[in-house]
Structure 1
Amino acid sequence: MVTSWRTAPGDALITHPITGLSVRQSFAPHWAGEVVRLRLSNRYSSVPLTLENVHLALEAEAGGAAMVPGSACPLTFDGGRRITLAAGETAVSDPIHFPVRPFQRVGVSFFAPEVTLQITRHLNANEHLYISIPGDHAADATGAAFLQVPDGYASNFLAIEALEVAAPRAVRTLVAVGDSITDGSGSAIAIPDGTPAAMTATDQRYPNHLQRRLLTAGLPLTVANAGIGGNELLGPGLLPQFGRGLIDRFDADVLSVTGATHVLVMIGTNDSGNALPGQVPSAEAMIAGYTQLIERAHEAGLKIILGTIPPAEGTVIDGLPVVGRLGLPIGIMHGTAEARQSRDAINAWIRAQTLSDGIVDFDACLEDPLRPGYLAPEYNSGDNLHPNPAGYRAMADCVDLDLLR
């Protein structure tokens, strides 16, 4: 089995109530297969989670709640249609025959029959989440019983972690791991030429674009996305939902991924950008963190590629300067002299080091040649930090596929 699609759980703190309701969420597999299984996670919850009537179906219209009539297939777990995941537990469904194709979108639906106080989630799925009116509507083909949860409120992946497919032995998995730039924040922004980039229709994250390149090149490699918005290398993110530091989650989100043989790491902008003045981690501390990841990947038999930290001068969120730890407004932190010096030193080390199995210079690919440190205008989603779809495509184009052959 290899990982055809994946997301990285981050917390179980804040979710939409789902007790007695059905949930429907969709995504695009990256690799074809005839036999699949679904991985569910209750990793971060402190209480059990019970689900019934978990279904897979083909999405009828990209971004909508309707499924293709007749395509729904129930999943079983140890032969049963009901599963209770203990706190911290991950479960994998029994394999079923359910053909999937790259970027032919799939919907997952389930019913929560019991009081559900917590559910492990991935923050900001960059997908529409649908929750039903009361009752079990998991197998409904139409979307009539489902309501779209507002994007800015709770567009999260709930409980689902991965779709795995049976594949030839030669097929491998590349795990792209990092923060919101890997996760795809800003990928719903219109492409500069005016082409609309609907959030659930176009799958414009850089790992999506990299998968398209690999398929075109005929390379037997599937890309699993383990990015978490706000994530940091050395420690937990600014907010709990930004997840544990990559050093802490590396085993679960990279080394344990089904079929993983390669990892592409791009992280570090939040370690400096979300730190109070005087508390930015030293370049030496960051380099020690990267070195630890390299050693752990090699010990596990994985090849590891490091990506430079992209430009971040002038970062704003919702038109306001980024707010620092403890809620203290400290200006545009990603662009402070201290953050900039740290980023430049780290990028210089990444370019020069020979410990990893290769590098991708995302910084050089995205930087405005007329304004060093800034995203090129054609790649800017508008907040000066996250690329737009064209920028994410450029990131994928920056990857030398020879590193993955």
Structure 2
Amino acid sequence: MNSASGSVRPAQADFCAPQSIADQQGKVVTAWKTAPGDALITHPISGLSVRQSFAPHWSGKVVRLRLSNRYSSVPVTFSNIHLAREATPGGADMVPGTSCNLTFNGLPSVTLQAGETAQSDWVSYPVEAFERLGVSFYAPGPTPQLTRHLNANEVLYISLPGDYSASADGAMYQPAPQGYTANFLVIEALEVLASPSVSTVVAVGDSITDGSDSTTAFLSGRGSPLVATDQRYPNHLQRRFNRAGLPFSVANAGIGGNELLRDGWLPQFGKALLTRFDADVLATAGASHVLVMIGTNDFGNPKTGQAPTSEQLVEGYKQLIARAQRAGLKTIVGTIPPAEGTVTELVPVLHGTAAARLARDQTNAWIRSQTLSDGVVDFAACLEDPLRPGYLAPQFNSGDNLHPNPAGYAAMAECVNLNLFKN
């Protein structure tokens, strides 16, 4: 059974020792994941160290880290890639004595060619669900482009010049400048060797899956955006699986601004889900289920041409369901949450228009009635204000009328019928 625990320093004699899994009984599953979006706007890190953190969703004793250069047009080199336990959520300090220097083909550095993804060597390193980890690395040379995930809802730390990747003390690190703070750079997944009964549920979609505003009520003027609290709906769904003793690790493949049919309105919003589905869902280690919720940006993002119709979006959903089922994955489809009154001061988005609402309602009616998928989650009904149809319920509203707050994300997870995963 998988459960959260406090900080536990590894004490095994083989801690950080290379491991071969060829002759071990087990299954590779994804304990943590993010979906790369682009490589256009990243902080220069040449001659600096980078530190970033996350909470794995599944426990294991043998792990490996996946790095991505998917969207860069040039090679990048990193050295001294360290995995350690985070001392304080969202902070730069690591727990002393927990650092492990990962290797790639036996070497302490790795060069990723343009478009390449690489996995570290398997290593003995016990991790626990929701016991947060830090990944630190040094970039010895030029890094003009870095593949990133925008809006990680985590603090990205950049060091003063030099290699501080092995340092538990975070004094030489500072939060990246505003505009770069929320990115995941280069890291894509942590994979663990688990029991053969365990598998991965890939939650895929847009910013509501990604967890925008899950760390703060910033748009309402409350709280700080620089607090890592792991309150995304996939985090809450993982907690439900853990409490129920169900053998599933939830991998988050959401990208803010993402659309089903078209590439993102801005490059950092990622390729269309139809385009990235193979890499971000089907190729996820241990995947057995995909929980997809997408479409609000297809109708609501600014368009250079006409927005798609609900019929066109439904055809896209049908393609995803068929592709997932051909790959042996069960597919669960979520309805699109309400978005009336979406804040538009910064960008003239269309989420709250009458046309967008009509298309969203038509799509949701199809989702609720269709029998192609293996299940449905009615996120819209769970989040909607019963007194104001089309709007988020006030207790679930982050303040922009589009993204849920942490309570809303918890409600989304509670809306998922766990029986969908028991067959």
**Quick check: TM above 0.5?**
yes
Deviation at 1:321, TM superposition (A): 6.1
Match status 1:380 vs 2:407: no
2:373 to 356, 374, 377: 356
Please give the per-residue CA displacement for 1:270-290, whole angstroms capped at 9, x wherever unaligned. 001014497120111101000
- Separation in 2, partners of 1:197, 1:7: 23
Deviation at 1:200, TM superposition (A): 4.2
Match status 1:335 vs 2:352: yes
- Separation in 1, partners of 2:210, 2:301: 18
* Structure 1 partner of 2:122: 95
- Alignment partner of 1:202: what SS? coil
- Separation in 2, partners of 1:378, 1:277: 35
* Structure 1 partner of 2:90: 63
Distance 1:3 1:277, change over 3 A: closer
* Structure 2 partner of 1:400: 417
- Separation in 2, partners of 1:276, 1:75: 44
- Separation in 2, partners of 1:81, 1:295: 42
- Separation in 1, partners of 2:207, 2:179: 15
Write out aligned runs for 1:1-400 (5 A).
Answer: 1-150=28-177, 152-190=179-217, 200-276=227-303, 279-317=306-344, 320=345, 322-324=347-349, 333-400=350-417
- Separation in 2, partners of 1:371, 1:365: 13
- Separation in 1, partners of 2:296, 2:225: 27
Q: What is the percentage of aligned positions where both structures have the same residue?
A: 69
- Separation in 2, partners of 1:404, 1:123: 30
Deviation at 1:150, TM superposition (A): 4.0
- Alignment partner of 1:15: what SS? coil
Aligned partners of 1:15 and 1:154 also within 8 Å = no
Could you tell me the TM-score, scaled by structure 2's length? 0.91
- Separation in 2, partners of 1:315, 1:163: 35
- Alignment partner of 2:348: what SS? coil
* Structure 2 partner of 1:330: none
Deviation at 1:392, TM superposition (A): 0.1
Please give the per-residue CA displacement for 1:292-341, whole angstroms capped at 9, x wherever unaligned. 00000000000000000000001015xx16425xxxxxxxx111111111
Deviation at 1:92, TM superposition (A): 0.3
- Separation in 2, partners of 1:171, 1:277: 44
- Alignment partner of 2:261: what SS? coil
Could you tell me the TM-score, scaled by structure 1's length? 0.94
Aligned partners of 2:265 and 2:303 also within 8 Å = no
Distance 1:281 1:124, change over 3 A: same
- Separation in 1, partners of 2:420, 2:92: 39
Structure 2 alignment gaps of length 5 or more: 1-27
Task: Kindly provide the amino acid, as one letter, of the partner of residue 245 in structure 1.
Answer: A
Deviation at 1:202, TM superposition (A): 1.7
Deviation at 1:62, TM superposition (A): 1.0
- Alignment partner of 1:295: what SS? helix
How many residue pairs get aligned? The number is 393
- Separation in 1, partners of 2:211, 2:343: 17
Aligned partners of 1:187 and 1:199 also within 8 Å = no
- Alignment partner of 1:296: what SS? helix
Deviation at 1:183, TM superposition (A): 0.3
Structure 1 alignment gaps of length 5 or more: 325-332
* Structure 1 partner of 2:5: none
